[in-house]
Amino acid sequence: MNVDLRTRVTNLPPLPATPLVSVILAVRNEERHITRALDGVRLQDWPRESLEILVVDGCSNDRTRELVTRVAARDSRVRLLVNPAGHVAQGLNVGLAAARGAVIVRVDGHCRIVPEHVRRCVAELRAGKAECVGGPVRAVGDTLLARTIALAMNTSFGVGGASFRWTRERREVDHLPLGAWRREVFGWIGGFDESLVRNQDDEFSDRLRRAGGRIVMLPELLAEYYSRATLGGLWNQYHGYAYWKVRVIRMHGGWPSSPRHLVPAAFVLAMLASGALAARGAWALGALAPALYAVFLLGATAETALSRRTRASVLLSLALPVMHTAHGVGFLRALFARSPLSPQATSPLPVSDSAAPEVKAA
């Protein structure tokens, strides 16, 4: 990609003190969390007249649209748009096309951001310290199992080097799920890739960094993420992450942006090899990988129990294997899949800097 993004952003006129900010939420079936997510956006310490909130619904079959409509009736900043395709990438691009703001902020339908989120992001972008800025994400849960799943997602034992999940220091990172950008960035490097069912935000971050952009995480902008409540939901989530991650890797040269993406697949292969060795009678060798992993689980559970002091840590040895195995299986399945993971990718279309077209309202 022949785009010197940092230079282009530096050469832009400075942002005004209070630019219009467009917050985009691409959602589907979020009735449990959408009101809390919207409350977090609506309570921003940012001038009301300089904030628009675009909720793009992907054909929900629950009460999501009804709940958003109720909020919109009380707050004229909230607009409900339609995403017929249903997937997140298309929803984000619908929001981008309708957005009028000089700054674009993405918020997830099951996240709640802090009141200063928009203000701090705009200040960072105005200072020219990053081309994408945002905060870390802390998973939370409503039940014991959900809190355990959240705990697994909040530790390096569960997510390895995904620092936006667990680090608490300002730093440059390779990805942020809830980013903020100057609008022009999308005109230069394109919108979100609609060929990706998942990982479209990860791919966009990778594309931005390859174009010379910096992604900076501000620890004070800690967002709450409402985690899956079942092990089956956790399996589907991480299997999907890994499955579509392979598509992103193939789109960008065939090598992951971080070696950590290969670790779960190596873990699954080691377990399969151990099973094969045991089946051939080599019990000692076959037991090595499972034994090492059992020690890892015990150590992770003990360390987390001592440092976090929460009942949820006692079930950590259930959540971690589901995360690791699902990710590894999804990654390996994708490597051998013929479709839709072919190396050729659709090129994301640039987002026009001109006035966005009308989008069908709900």
In this structure, what DSSP letter does residue 361 have? B
The CATH class for the domain spanning 7-135+176-227 reads: alpha beta
Q: Pick 132 or 144 by higher pLDDT.
A: 132
Cα–Cα distance list, 212 to 152, 205, 207 (Å): 32, 11, 9
Which residue from 298, 301, 332 is spatially nearest to 314, judged by alpha carbons? Answer: 301
Average of pLDDT values for 131-156? 88
AA identity, residue 251: M
Residue that the structure tokens 């942020």 belong to: 176
3-state helix, strand, coil in the chain (%, to 5): 50, 15, 40
Residue 355 confidence (pLDDT): 37
Contact of 109 with 24, CB cutoff 8 Å? no
Average pLDDT along the chain: 86
Residue that the structure tokens 């984000």 belong to: 92
Residue that the structure tokens 């089956």 belong to: 232
Residue that the structure tokens 């809190």 belong to: 147
Q: pLDDT for 40-86, tens place per residue?
A: 999 999 999 999 999 999 999 999 999 999 999 999 999 999 999 99
Residues 6+ apart with CB under 8 A from 196: 89, 203, 244, 247, 248
Residues 6+ apart with CB under 8 A from 168: 136, 219
Residue that the structure tokens 């675009």 belong to: 54
Q: pLDDT for 219-252, tens place per residue?
A: 999 999 888 888 999 999 889 888 888 887 877 6
**Domain boundaries in the chain?**
7-135+176-227, 230-338
Contact of 158 with 303, CB cutoff 8 Å? no
What is the rounded distance in angstroms from the CA atom of residue 144 to the CA atom of residue 314?
10
